[in-house]
Structure 1
Amino acid sequence: MHRHKAASAGKPRDDVYRAGFACFVGRPNAGKSTLTNAIIGQKIAITSNKPQTTRHVIRGILHRPDAQLVLVDTPGLHRPRTLLGQRLNDLVHEVWSEVDVIGVCFPADEPVGRGDRFIASEVGALKAKVIAVVTKVDLVDQTTLAQRLLDVAELYDFAEIVPVSSVSGHQVEILTDVMVKHMPESPQLYPDDVLTDEPEQMLIAELIREAALEGVRDELPHSMAVLVEEMLVEGKLTRIFADLYVERDSQKSIVIGTRGARLKDVGSRARAEIEKLLGRRVYLDLHVRVAKEWQRDPKQLRKLGF
């Protein structure tokens, strides 16, 4: 059934096939999405240096000879200020209650703080195996790392603590071994060739949104949503029509830029990423629209997929 090479050394060798769901949690910028991408080896979760940019539950699937690890990418947990914030938090808790393993991420380059304690206390009550992942270890020296590991160990009785660097790949494989070890025995959950079970349109919308957020440091982090209105396949070309929604006219002009330069730049960056994802030529038509206060309007939230 498995068209794979034999398991390499270091894998759990109990000859049992394991499969299950896992997710990474942690305060904003703890490196959750980057880690998901490093494990799956493909860019599937939107990453940005802004908190709260992951909005949808995007699953990445790691296929191994002995296991299948399904990663669920949750939005960051935060104290909600808007209806959207509340929905994100509900979504987080819903996802957490359904996974087998939770990896709580702590960035090595920042001290353990209130946000970390809040998250550790939230996961404590769940039935999942909880492991701690100390991320970004490439950014600190050994002494700082040792201190961070001690601080993390004091927060909660984690099943394991694994330091990793998504950027250099340090211990990423060890982390997947640890996660697989805590998965239940189970047949394969997805076919071998599936990397993510999200519809393409959602991934495309996220890539456009990521390109649009790039470089606009503080002007419009969360008040932007992308809706792919239409995808037409014409021979070797895929035509994609998408709308970028912002809340105010001032934000619209930021996204469009002087004489449309910024939007053109966003379009070409997003197009390159979408072509990589689809493996074919893409024509991308982007329009910026203003949807007043969409984060507080249930009707608009539904239309935009929340």
Structure 2
Amino acid sequence: MAIKSGFVAIMGRPNVGKSTLLNIILNNKVAIVTAKAQTTRNRIKGFYNDKESQIVFMDTPGIHKSHHEMGKFMNKVALSTTKATDVILFLAPVNERIGDNDRYIIKALQEREIPIILVVTKIDLVSKGDLMVKIAEWEKIHQFTVIIPISALKHQNIDELLTLLKGHLIEGPQYYPDDMLTDQPEKFLIREIIREKILLLTEEEIPYSVAILIDKFEDKQQLLKIMASICVERDSQKGIIIGKQGQLIKQIGTQARLELEQILGTKIFLELFVKVFYKWRDKPSIIARLGYNKESY
């Protein structure tokens, strides 16, 4: 039986709900989610399957004004994703103003001769009148292929969004097996879950200057042994992550281990250390060593 298949890029500035939408559509966690901007750093593929279609979603980093080499890498990942996609979903929260960053992204996307669907998110937070006002504002900025309002957390219009996407796909191959949710390896998932716990448990200073390095990975019978380094840019950040009498790093490790055990379905021994790489976000060689390089997208 022939199916429809294709690639859909999820775009937008930081912290507009791209990863949340992907996880909701797949009914599984394939991308980490926090309330802090720039949570996603790599392009993450997630695969939606039903009897009539396969949609390969590509969650991208939030495009932003970059001050480091790391930020330039993230923007490059996001924009390069659109070169090999069939449809672009541009996400914009209904309760936030349209800013220069939004306009910059739209201008960049106009070069792509493919459908651009505006997904107005978080509609459960405003009245219908306010929603109509926001849609009218967007219509003045760009002529989108279609505009659809959704609430991912309330599951409003998610099925309608999927139906809309299928209408823009053509008959094609099944690119990935039915039982595959993402193409990211286990080590990537482990790094991301550890980083998520750090983002959730630390203050504003830490999130953007932290990365995870897997030092040891032993897959033994019924036990996965992991040693990982939490990499920061300054000695003061190292002290913050370790915490008073090592309490914070212990909490990070416990939360990460419990979630990874649930996701991977095995017992895990996780040991965490903290290393300082001074100004690593401006050093391409260290960025690549930490898993952020051209092989990532």
Per-residue deviation at 1:233? Answer: 2.1
Q: Name 2:27's counterpart in structure 1.
A: 41
Q: Name 1:111's counterpart in structure 2.
A: 97
Q: Which residue of 230, 251, 269 maps to 1:283?
A: 269
Q: Name 1:240's counterpart in structure 2.
A: 226
Give the letter aligned to residue 70 of structure 2: L
Give the letter aligned to residue 302 of structure 1: A
Per-residue deviation at 1:244? Answer: 0.7
Q: Name 1:185's counterpart in structure 2.
A: 171
8 Å Cα contact 2:14-2:62 kept in structure 1 = yes
Q: Which runs of 5+ in 1 are unaligned?
A: 2-15
Q: Name 1:56's counterpart in structure 2.
A: 42
Structure-2 separation of matches of 1:264 and 1:46 = 20
Within 5 Å, give how 1:61-100 maps onto structure 2: 61-100=47-86
Q: Name 1:12's counterpart in structure 2.
A: none
Q: Which residue of 4, 10, 17 maps to 1:31?
A: 17
Give the letter aligned to residue 121 of structure 2: T
8 Å Cα contact 2:201-2:252 kept in structure 1 = no
For the pair 1:165 / 2:151, whether they are aligned, the reply is yes
Q: Name 1:102's counterpart in structure 2.
A: 88
Q: String of CA shifts for 1:140-199, please: whole Å, max 9, x gaps.
A: 121111111211222211111111111111111111111121123212111111100111
TM-score norm. by structure 1 comes to: 0.92
Q: Which secondary structure does the structure 2 equivalent of 1:20 belong to? A: strand
8 Å Cα contact 2:235-2:276 kept in structure 1 = yes
Structure-1 separation of matches of 2:114 and 2:185 = 27
Q: Which secondary structure does the structure 2 equivalent of 1:138 belong to? A: helix
Structure-2 separation of matches of 1:153 and 1:193 = 39
Q: Name 1:11's counterpart in structure 2.
A: none
Q: Name 1:254's counterpart in structure 2.
A: 240
> 4+ runs of 1 displaced by more than 4 Å?
none
Structure-2 separation of matches of 1:71 and 1:217 = 31
Per-residue deviation at 1:111? Answer: 2.2
Give the letter aligned to residue 196 of structure 2: E
Per-residue deviation at 1:223? Answer: 0.5
For the pair 1:19 / 2:5, whether they are aligned, the reply is yes
Structure with greater proportional helix content: 2
Per-residue deviation at 1:229? Answer: 2.1
Q: CA RMSD in A?
A: 1.3
TM-score norm. by structure 2 comes to: 0.95
Q: Name 2:204's counterpart in structure 1.
A: 218
Q: Which secondary structure does the structure 1 equivalent of 2:203 belong to? A: coil
Q: Which secondary structure does the structure 2 equivalent of 1:284 belong to? A: strand
Q: Name 1:8's counterpart in structure 2.
A: none
Q: Which secondary structure does the structure 1 equivalent of 2:226 belong to? A: strand
Q: Name 1:6's counterpart in structure 2.
A: none
Structure-2 separation of matches of 1:179 and 1:229 = 41
Structure-1 separation of matches of 2:252 and 2:275 = 15
8 Å Cα contact 1:97-1:127 kept in structure 2 = no
Within 5 Å, give how 1:107-186 maps onto structure 2: 107-186=93-172
Q: String of CA shifts for 1:92-119, please: whole Å, max 9, x gaps.
A: 2211111111100010111222222221
- Counterparts in 2 of 1:128 and 1:229: CA distance versus 1, 3 Å: farther
Q: String of CA shifts for 1:187-233, please: whole Å, max 9, x gaps.
A: 21111111001111101100100001113231112100001222212
Q: Which runs of 5+ in 2 are unaligned?
A: 293-297
For the pair 1:264 / 2:253, whether they are aligned, the reply is no
Structure-2 separation of matches of 1:185 and 1:155 = 33
Q: Percent identity?
A: 38
Per-residue deviation at 1:86? Answer: 1.5
Q: Which secondary structure does the structure 1 equivalent of 2:268 belong to? A: strand
For the pair 1:298 / 2:284, whether they are aligned, the reply is yes
Q: Which secondary structure does the structure 2 equivalent of 1:56 belong to? A: coil
